[in-house]
Structure 1
């Protein structure tokens, strides 16, 4: 039994996944709790003995709670209008939910700096004649909450759309027929129906905000507002580097994120019990006189969330230097920045690295998780659930913490990959392993075991069954996972910022450096190119996925 090919494959996959997921975490804990060769809590004393630690924890929690509340409020309202009412402009919902996912977090944050900075913000310059200078200040905790909440709201929208579509609307219709107002029905019937999904989404948004790096780094550090991620970054960029202190902060952030993920899994596993064997089609609620008002709100949301950030990036990319709109500004527009940005020696290399790392990590992760999903769901091997738990372990590790952990591993490792592109590839594969596992496992669960059994009875080996039967059937799920991992790897910053070296930059690092050097024109041009590349790659991948899916019908 132990010599069967499928058993050997299962053992090999478990070892590879275990190495990727558990070794960095082990090194992080070892470095945090040792100084020299002995056990020590000195890192915790230095990290949490600081007089400003209370402010740091407070900022972190306030930022995460505020961002989660804003994203859930907006996302839930939009999802309700989209699923339950006759709201106009429903075509905008798709664009408003997909486009922000393509825009990298660092670009989205910089776009809002161009819009709402008290010194250079276009919104402030427009409102200055009426309200005076500096009407809005994006460099505050409130500004951080605004940007992070808006960027997460499409994810909350997609999450809650699924929840509203899976609940039977007859209970709401009964409430309305009994004389309850729409507000009362929404508060007393609709919200309780989707409460498990809403609570789970709240915790997910909280954890996503807690581990955010781009927004705190670009907005908070401007005025000394620290959260966990920005403080870890500062500690690791200070000489001499306090690895144990950074590790202690990382462990604190890790524990809070792990608790949030644990609670979200518990709540996400509960269901309201309104899905039955009967099909149902909700009758859209007629908004009546409020329909134009809600329609204006939808257009305003799309404008603020999608159009303004993209327009300000394109506007800045076409100017020789950043300035407020005027006749002279529009007359000076050209494509010079698009030429200049590719004359920077590191940019073509960064673009190539991002493409290679995005495609490489997506391919490796989906190849590993396709087999790992088979081991967990199909193999019947004792202890196979352990592989499932190991594969999901990186889900609780924030990106910046993962970068810290992997740097600890390969600073001490005899394997000479620190300072090369391969360490970024390992980081991306580790970070997105849980997402690949979810896509692959979901696809595997939809396939009946009878197909495999029939092939095996006909004399096919395990490898032939896996390659010729299972892989074609789960190909749509694997392609969907590949698309997602490619997009998030292509725009990744939080893990990369601690692991890259000159010559091995990726596009997100190049944008961060251009912003640090106030080269706003080249930065915006590179950002526009980055968004276009992502949009083209996603469109191609979706077409490939659609063709693969059609071939299975």
Structure 2
């Protein structure tokens, strides 16, 4: 018989106490980066407007409304200016919306031929800046030398009925320039709408026009309102078309009046601020009206969990005629403006096409542009500002979008609203507000490229937010949680997980902001200084000096550079995306 002794517990002496682990002091990189992004967004959105309000309502004796009296009272013809602004904005947005909606319906819901031409035409507003589009229509619709009058209408009617230097001409040019944008927006709306209701109405015996009027258009109400708002705000803030076309016949809108007041001596900054606040109030009212009209947007949702495939409407005998209309639209919006710019760039002095004019064609305008050192400086400045603003905006909006979409932090909706606020600030108003800030703040950046960079980043921050927020909303939180479980910090997760997965949306936003920054004029015209011109300002100066053929050559080169930048950006993005897919 064996006996077992219970184990004896052996007490080990305690280890000598060493130094306590050092805790990390100070905020983490996540807090620093997110906090800095919030401060920057608040500064960009609030400070310029605060200075604009302060300097407009404050005089030598304190609070005053004298600026408004000088701007809207007396013989300033402010009433006519406001009527012109509303007529221009409403007319051009209506033309763009109707044209874009009809073309989108034809593209998505019918068997029309030449569908590729519609998408080719939709690239025009991204590639051809507004100032070049307006200049092209001067060559086409001038009452004395315009090709539409000299080649088409004068031989038939004996008169020159087209005058692009009129309110109707302004509406026509702006509406055509915005129609492809409305087309792209409405194409998305048609593709997201379940056509079963339309097909049911057609099977019940309803006429095609009845289905369109009572089913299709009511279901498109949210998309129509959003598109109408965008067209209205962009027309209201447009400076290129009113500046090139309206000022020739003393047709003023808000933007051209602000520019005119700031070019007078002595400069009345208070009156300019009063005009800017009036323009801002109309734009904000349009945004509020759009939100009120879309308050019941859920009642128009037709996309559910069930799959659908719309059946194209067979046009039958009308198919050739509708296809001819598509070709005509492509010719009017793309071939004529771009073609007349190329034609004018090859002439020493602009003249209507003839044997003599064709015989004098030369490349001297391109040679003079290339030899001009100011053109090289403007190109370099445009590249720096385009790439810089696109990079800053997308990095900033990526961080802010993470806060808005991925967290539950209090105040994130306010942050989203602040980031969206600059969309209702017209470019000329933003330029004036920034001039109020940096003419008084002791920072030597007024008239430099840095103030232009601030202007571009403020102006296009809402667009960067839409791109990055949409991309991040599509990703599951499980990816971040998995990275955290394996020990990745927030910065590593953001840089190596979130950004690569959202690269498609971030790249699309980067390319868009690059293009629109490259062609920006309305805010730049008030903030640049000699030696810091960009290409759009250089084109404006060529127009003011009457150098129309040089302007055309510079514009053609600008379009070529833009096309090359977009091509390079997408090729690099495709390589990055392929590498990311391979790594995953």
Answering whether residue 340 of structure 2 is matched by residue 340 of structure 1, we say no
Is the Cα–Cα contact under 8 Å of residues 125 and 181 in structure 2 kept in the other structure?
no
Instruction: In structure 1, list runs of 5 or more residues that go unmatched.
Output: none
Q: Compute the displacement of 1:104 (Å).
A: 0.1
Deviations 1:247-276 (A, max 9, x none): 011001101111212333454572412111
Answering whether residue 513 of structure 2 is matched by residue 489 of structure 1, we say no
Is the Cα–Cα contact under 8 Å of residues 420 and 501 in structure 1 kept in the other structure?
yes
> What's the TM-score, normalizing by structure 1?
0.98
Answering whether residue 538 of structure 2 is matched by residue 513 of structure 1, we say no
Q: Compute the displacement of 1:180 (Å).
A: 1.8
Hey, what does 2:7 align to over in structure 1? none
Answering whether residue 51 of structure 2 is matched by residue 27 of structure 1, we say yes
Within 5 Å, which residues of 2 pair with 1:454-533? Answer: 454-533=482-561
Mapped to 2, the partners of 1:241 and 1:180 lie a distance apart of: 63
Answering whether residue 11 of structure 2 is matched by residue 11 of structure 1, we say no
Structure 2 vs 1, CA of residues 295 and 50 (structure 1 numbering), >3 Å: closer, same or farther? farther
Answering whether residue 178 of structure 2 is matched by residue 129 of structure 1, we say no
116, 119, 123: which one pairs with 2:141? 116
Is the Cα–Cα contact under 8 Å of residues 125 and 133 in structure 1 kept in the other structure?
no
Q: Compute the displacement of 1:204 (Å).
A: 1.8
Within 5 Å, which residues of 2 pair with 1:56-75? Answer: 56-75=81-100
Structure 2 vs 1, CA of residues 332 and 525 (structure 1 numbering), >3 Å: closer, same or farther? same
Q: Compute the displacement of 1:447 (Å).
A: 1.1
Answering whether residue 229 of structure 2 is matched by residue 206 of structure 1, we say no
Mapped to 1, the partners of 2:247 and 2:67 lie a distance apart of: 23
Structure 2 vs 1, CA of residues 86 and 50 (structure 1 numbering), >3 Å: closer, same or farther? farther
Is the Cα–Cα contact under 8 Å of residues 45 and 421 in structure 2 kept in the other structure?
yes
Deviates more, 1:483-492 or 1:514-523: 514-523
Answering whether residue 215 of structure 2 is matched by residue 189 of structure 1, we say yes
Hey, what does 1:48 align to over in structure 2? 72
Answering whether residue 477 of structure 2 is matched by residue 449 of structure 1, we say yes
Hey, what does 1:314 align to over in structure 2? 342
Deviations 1:56-80 (A, max 9, x none): 1111111111001100110000000
Structure 2 vs 1, CA of residues 326 and 370 (structure 1 numbering), >3 Å: closer, same or farther? same
Deviations 1:476-515 (A, max 9, x none): 1111110000000000000000011111000000001101
Answering whether residue 127 of structure 2 is matched by residue 99 of structure 1, we say no
Mapped to 1, the partners of 2:37 and 2:204 lie a distance apart of: 58
Q: Compute the displacement of 1:551 (Å).
A: 4.3
Q: Compute the displacement of 1:240 (Å).
A: 0.7
Deviates more, 1:113-122 or 1:385-394: 385-394
Is the Cα–Cα contact under 8 Å of residues 197 and 268 in structure 1 kept in the other structure?
no
Within 5 Å, which residues of 2 pair with 1:233-272? Answer: 233-267=259-293, 270-271=297-298, 272=300
Mapped to 2, the partners of 1:524 and 1:141 lie a distance apart of: 24
Structure 2 vs 1, CA of residues 442 and 2 (structure 1 numbering), >3 Å: closer, same or farther? farther
Answering whether residue 158 of structure 2 is matched by residue 148 of structure 1, we say no
Within 5 Å, which residues of 2 pair with 1:381-420? Answer: 381-420=409-448
Partner SS, residue 454 of structure 1: helix
Q: Compute the displacement of 1:380 (Å).
A: 3.1
Q: Compute the displacement of 1:3 (Å).
A: 2.6
Is the Cα–Cα contact under 8 Å of residues 107 and 527 in structure 1 kept in the other structure?
yes
Hey, what does 1:165 align to over in structure 2? 191
Aligned residues: 553
Hey, what does 2:22 align to over in structure 1? none
Hey, what does 1:292 align to over in structure 2? 320
Mapped to 2, the partners of 1:248 and 1:322 lie a distance apart of: 40
Highest Rg: 1 or 2?
2
Q: Compute the displacement of 1:395 (Å).
A: 1.1
Q: Compute the displacement of 1:4 (Å).
A: 3.2
Mapped to 1, the partners of 2:143 and 2:221 lie a distance apart of: 39
Is the Cα–Cα contact under 8 Å of residues 144 and 215 in structure 1 kept in the other structure?
yes
Mapped to 1, the partners of 2:560 and 2:348 lie a distance apart of: 21
Mapped to 1, the partners of 2:530 and 2:417 lie a distance apart of: 36
Deviates more, 1:448-457 or 1:254-263: 254-263
Answering whether residue 113 of structure 2 is matched by residue 88 of structure 1, we say yes
Partner SS, residue 576 of structure 2: helix
Partner SS, residue 123 of structure 2: helix
Is the Cα–Cα contact under 8 Å of residues 404 and 498 in structure 1 kept in the other structure?
yes
Q: Compute the displacement of 1:469 (Å).
A: 1.1
Mapped to 1, the partners of 2:250 and 2:199 lie a distance apart of: 51
Deviations 1:108-140 (A, max 9, x none): 000000000002201111122222242200011
Q: Compute the displacement of 1:404 (Å).
A: 0.4
Answering whether residue 399 of structure 2 is matched by residue 371 of structure 1, we say yes
Hey, what does 2:17 align to over in structure 1? none
Hey, what does 1:428 align to over in structure 2? 456
Mapped to 2, the partners of 1:168 and 1:381 lie a distance apart of: 36
Mapped to 1, the partners of 2:27 and 2:315 lie a distance apart of: 66
Q: Compute the displacement of 1:357 (Å).
A: 0.4
Deviates more, 1:463-472 or 1:82-91: 463-472
Q: Compute the displacement of 1:549 (Å).
A: 3.6
RMSD of aligned Cα (Å): 1.5
Mapped to 2, the partners of 1:342 and 1:161 lie a distance apart of: 40
Instruction: In structure 2, list runs of 5 or more residues that go unmatched.
Output: 1-24
